[in-house]
Structure 1
Amino acid sequence: MNQPATSPTIKTERLLLRRFNAADAPEVSRLCDNYNLYKSTLNLPHPYPLESALEWIATHNESFTSGRMYEFAITNKESGKLYGAIGLSHQQAHRHGEIGYWIGEEYWGQGYATEAARAVLDFAFRDKDLHRVYARFFASNPASGKVMEKCGMTYEGTQKDHIFKEGRYEDLLLFGILNPNHQ
């Protein structure tokens, strides 16, 4: 699957956020086939074989083109090394979206998720003119909440025992932010 020439990229101080392509699948599979990453995410399967990565990447083009979902590879701006992924859903009727991200465990604690999330929030508000963006995370994964707080998102509530995973219920904490250009 080739990336169209018009495919948007987002540059930050250290990162290049770009569309995924099939050549990324082996590294996506390697990074995602990690139990610690699986237990901290809503939708990541475990194990995560190459076929899952290829299937996931194959859905991006249509989702991006239709404006329903924007998935970006989080990569090093200089070397191109893949660190993770960040996505923004787009509920056009309500002018809001949900942001979600994952970073490979070997890259945790280096600020990549925060840097990417700030850039995608800017994309959501400036380029897509969304009114609101929200995000959810497991109460057992407070590091994800720290990313949201660093991006200016605020706590809006807890969905008690909302997800059943690994034989137990997990609370989801909800954070959100309104477009500062709409206030």
Structure 2
Amino acid sequence: MTTANQAPILSGNGVVLRPLAEDDIPRIVEACRDPRTQKWLGSMPSPYDEDDAREWIEASRLAAAEGSKITWAVADPTTHELVGAINLFDIEPGTRAKVGYWSHPSARGTGTMTEACRIALEHAFDDLDLPTVVAHAAVENTASQHVLTANGMRRVALEPGGTTIRTGKVDAYRYERHASEATRPSTLYADDVEAHQGSKPLLPRTTLALDEGEVAVVLGRPGSGHTALALALAGRLPLSAGQVTLDGSQDPTKLQKAVALVDVPGVSEPDGSVPLRTIVGEELAMAKRKASKAAVLSWLAEEGIDAYADSTIDDVPPEARVGALARLASLRPGTRFVVVTYPERHGLHPGSWLELARSLADGGFGVLVTASAAVDLPADVHRFTIGPEEGA
């Protein structure tokens, strides 16, 4: 067993946890000035500068010396560049600790924080012999919630005023995980799936795998099976060959609950004449959230798209349209994977939908986007093809 004031270097899948260093200050400042970080971490100085970063590093070291907290830089294992931070705090030896984290914007959607949280929890249970780890996340902070749920933490209570964000105290969910509860990210797997309607091919033989907290892109020509693939992944299309599984299960009910389909033509694509505010209200109600006029306008304002509240969905700019529909889909109870079908058809630039996908993945969702074979993707994005690769 190690003691709480030790911050060992811990390695995982594509990430390393290491002690904070003075060289991290510029990246800390970048991350802590980011609007999303500032929004959810209300006790963080604003504006945030290098002196704030130095004070935080020093305070973290003092807390470590007292045995009440361990803070790691979440770093790239090759470049050692900081991509986030995670800590175990309020450590009570033999009893429990709390876990908290933030990501640098460049790491969102890479699954990095989900893996970093897994490593920190493993250290808490295996090395510090703590029986319980606790976390809090604002009710509206679904990204943080999904990092926790992807690591097996269970929502156990709603605590009024349980956390502080930039606007003040807000209600928070309390999450817990006990040492006896093992977990791993879930995997959605399509193994040589193929679908036909009579003699007509709907989906050529396709294989892909997607983990929670990961972004992947499936490439294919228009009309090559984008809609059919989405339906197959969600357990909504009979297959001629192959199988789709979630953690080894082919249960279509389980797939339908876990996989949310976004803007799929002829399936989940909204009627183009319906106002955005109506769609938001329906989705919030489906997510068992407040769906009053005030709640709808509040959600739209939070997303920065309240100017389009009365616009029909077909008149909403592509980035706002796809972003709103994807984020609303992620709120549905039980959603763990989000499939966005061919956003290029709305004229949305790949950089925009990739940023959206990464932000959702940063919250623990597995995100799959279907796109044309001509799209230019960064080298680190996992990619698959509809049908044989040469046919994409």
TM-score tier (shorter) = 0.7 to 0.9
Give deviations 1:1-36, integer Å, cap 9, x for gaps: xxxxx8510000111100101221121012111122
Q: Secondary structure at the match of 1:180?
A: coil
Displacement of 1:90: 4.2
Displacement of 1:44: 2.3
Match of 2:36 in 1: 36
Q: What letter matches 1:37 in structure 2?
A: T
Displacement of 1:64: 1.8
Matched ranges for 1:106-121 at <5 A:
106-121=106-121
Q: Secondary structure at the match of 1:78?
A: coil
Contact preservation (8 Å) 1:40, 1:140:
no
Q: What letter matches 2:66 in structure 1?
A: S
Q: Matched residues in 2 for 1:70 and 1:164: separation?
A: 21
Match of 1:125 in 2: 125
Matched, 1:155 2:143: no
Q: Secondary structure at the match of 1:59?
A: helix
Displacement of 1:92: 2.3
Match of 1:58 in 2: 58
Displacement of 1:166: 4.4
Q: Secondary structure at the match of 1:23?
A: helix
Give deviations 1:36-73, integer Å, cap 9, x for gaps: 21112253222111100000001222322332100000
Match of 1:3 in 2: none
Matched ranges for 1:129-148 at <5 A:
129-148=129-148
Matched, 1:78 2:78: yes
Q: What letter matches 2:178 in structure 1?
A: L
Q: Name which of structure 1's ranges 28-37 and 161-170 shifts more when overlaid on structure 2.
A: 161-170
Q: What letter matches 2:58 in structure 1?
A: A
Match of 1:20 in 2: 20
- Alignment gaps of 5+ in structure 2: 1-5, 182-392
Q: Secondary structure at the match of 2:98?
A: strand
Q: Matched residues in 2 for 1:7 and 1:88: separation?
A: 10
Give deviations 1:108-151, integer Å, cap 9, x for gaps: 12111110000000000011000100100111210111111110
Q: Matched residues in 2 for 1:179 and 1:35: separation?
A: 35
Q: Secondary structure at the match of 1:74?
A: strand
Q: Matched residues in 2 for 1:135 and 1:69: separation?
A: 14
Q: Matched residues in 2 for 1:153 and 1:126: separation?
A: 16
Q: Matched residues in 2 for 1:163 and 1:150: separation?
A: 21
Q: Matched residues in 2 for 1:164 and 1:8: separation?
A: 30
Displacement of 1:164: 5.6
Percent of matched pairs sharing the same residue:
26
Q: Matched residues in 2 for 1:42 and 1:165: separation?
A: 4
Contact preservation (8 Å) 1:12, 1:119:
yes
Q: What letter matches 2:157 in structure 1?
A: G
Larger radius of gyration: 2
Displacement of 1:161: 3.5
Contact preservation (8 Å) 2:41, 2:164:
no
Contact preservation (8 Å) 1:35, 1:46:
no
Q: Name which of structure 1's ranges 93-102 and 119-128 shifts more when overlaid on structure 2.
A: 93-102
Q: Secondary structure at the match of 2:158?
A: strand
Q: Name which of structure 1's ranges 146-155 and 53-62 shifts more when overlaid on structure 2.
A: 53-62
Q: What letter matches 2:112 in structure 1?
A: Y
- Matched length: 176
Change over 3 Å in CA distance of 1:42–1:130 after alignment to 2:
farther
Q: What letter matches 1:53 in structure 2?
A: A
Q: Matched residues in 1 for 2:174 and 2:52: separation?
A: 28
